[in-house]
Structure 1
């Protein structure tokens, strides 16, 4: 009996030692894995916020009217800032001063480059404001003001309306729909409601009754075809208000 008891105790001790070794190995494995995770996180954070990944160059793409150097000067206060800490709100406020910017997007190019992709506003016409001419885009944003009428842009006449009214929205939609072949011949465009858009062609006594901005793409194609035929026909009126039965009335 004593021999059996001693054998049992020895077996229990061996099992306890095996259990202890397994527990110790698991603890070491967990501690090692945890240490590796902490080290990796630390290295990652160190790399992200390191001066090696700080902003050192700003590039501007997509501009035609704006001077890229002016945009860089406006936002270069963030040079030296880690890329992960660039302030998008500050960047937005700095670029908001440029009226010609319709929208922009940013691209980060490690290790230290910020690319600004700019989409500029496109002027569609000019409006008289007192004794000056305001160049406006399709949203009615004033892009520039000149004491003389700028060449190459139609005069927008709204009667008593303004850029916040339905007449301007109709005019803008028509201007965006016109093909270059017609837009280049345009002297003025007028409307007092959404349904009475009228165009006057430059260097002639020809007008265009457009009507509403509805179906403007179709009307633009029909008008381009009629102008190609009747441009030299003298005074007259193109009526494309119903594009399916559009006609040129001479005289």
Structure 2
């Protein structure tokens, strides 16, 4: 009679040997535990000294980038960075908040640690899209309607904003309903939708009410824009109207589906 096959013999050996026994690692001695604990304490103390006590990782320089109108010196002064203090302890959020409060021209600021001993300030300034004249000065207004700076000389290419709101009739009702800030934002909305060629020629954005905004262009030309709604449609209609009637002096796109022009 034939004996067991090789496979059967292997199966029997596995059955007889049972499941594999787990490996046991030797328990570390008290001496080893003490040494490891001492090493961890030493490393932690060294790291703490390097970060807080060492002169190597203290603030020595503050760099500024991204400025256009502001100077790096103005930004550094307003930042009031804690030169000489440990770099790790610098309050980044406090510097950012302080800069925005002291320098309203700053739209966004990114403050980062530059190891081993520097602070980097990356500035994004607001851009004026309209100007409000105040006596012999001008107040700059950005694309969010924020009045952020007062200057003595109007920059080229930025139109004036005129709030020609009367205190009677529909104009006064519009002012009571929306408020001056909302009317300014509506003017900004219109200015932001102008075709590039028209924007370059715009000298004045006049607001009589929420629904009555007009433009004064170079060459004694005017544009009745209406409200800030459907700005993209109005921009396309105005571009087509100016191409079709290049000698016209008055354009009306308040209803963009029925634009009109007149004068020559």
Pairwise TM-score range, normalised by the shorter structure: 0.7 to 0.9
Is 1:154 the counterpart of 2:159 in the alignment? yes
How is 1:72-221 mapped onto 2 (pairs within 5 angstroms)?
72-75=76-79, 77-88=81-92, 89-90=94-95, 92-94=97-99, 96-138=101-143, 139-146=145-152, 150-160=155-165, 164-204=180-220, 206-221=221-236
Please tell me the root mean square deviation across aligned C-alpha atoms, in Å.
2.7
Question: Which is worse superposed, 215-224 or 66-75?
Answer: 215-224
Cα displacement (A) at 1:91:
5.6
Relative to structure 1, is the Cα distance of residues 27 and 200 closer, same or farther in structure 2, using a 3 angstrom cutoff? same
Aligned to 2:33: 30
What are structure 1's unaligned runs of at least 5 residues? 1-21
Is 1:41 the counterpart of 2:44 in the alignment? yes
What are structure 2's unaligned runs of at least 5 residues? 1-25, 166-174
Could you tell me whether the CA contact under 8 Å between 1:100 and 1:120 is conserved in 2? yes
Relative to structure 1, is the Cα distance of residues 105 and 225 closer, same or farther in structure 2, using a 3 angstrom cutoff? farther
Cα displacement (A) at 1:135:
2.8
* d(CA) in 2 for partners of 1:53, 1:163: 52
Could you tell me whether the CA contact under 8 Å between 1:167 and 1:193 is conserved in 2? yes
Could you tell me whether the CA contact under 8 Å between 1:58 and 1:76 is conserved in 2? no
Relative to structure 1, is the Cα distance of residues 95 and 195 closer, same or farther in structure 2, using a 3 angstrom cutoff? closer
Cα displacement (A) at 1:134:
2.5
Could you tell me whether the CA contact under 8 Å between 1:140 and 1:163 is conserved in 2? no
Number of corresponding residues? 224
* d(CA) in 2 for partners of 1:176, 1:48: 48
* d(CA) in 2 for partners of 1:91, 1:169: 26
Where 2:205 maps in the other structure, the secondary structure is: strand
Cα displacement (A) at 1:227:
3.1
Aligned to 2:247: 233
Q: TM-score, normalised by structure 2?
A: 0.73
Q: TM-score, normalised by structure 1?
A: 0.77
Where 2:129 maps in the other structure, the secondary structure is: strand
**What is the CA deviation profile of residues 155-198 of structure 1, one whole-angstrom value per residue up to 9, with x for unaligned ones?**
21112469843211110111122243221100111123322221
Cα displacement (A) at 1:27:
2.9
Runs of 4+ aligned structure 1 residues displaced above 4 Å come to 161-164
Aligned to 1:57: 61
* d(CA) in 2 for partners of 1:144, 1:55: 34
Could you tell me whether the CA contact under 8 Å between 1:201 and 1:207 is conserved in 2? yes
* d(CA) in 1 for partners of 2:39, 2:223: 75
Relative to structure 1, is the Cα distance of residues 42 and 218 closer, same or farther in structure 2, using a 3 angstrom cutoff? farther
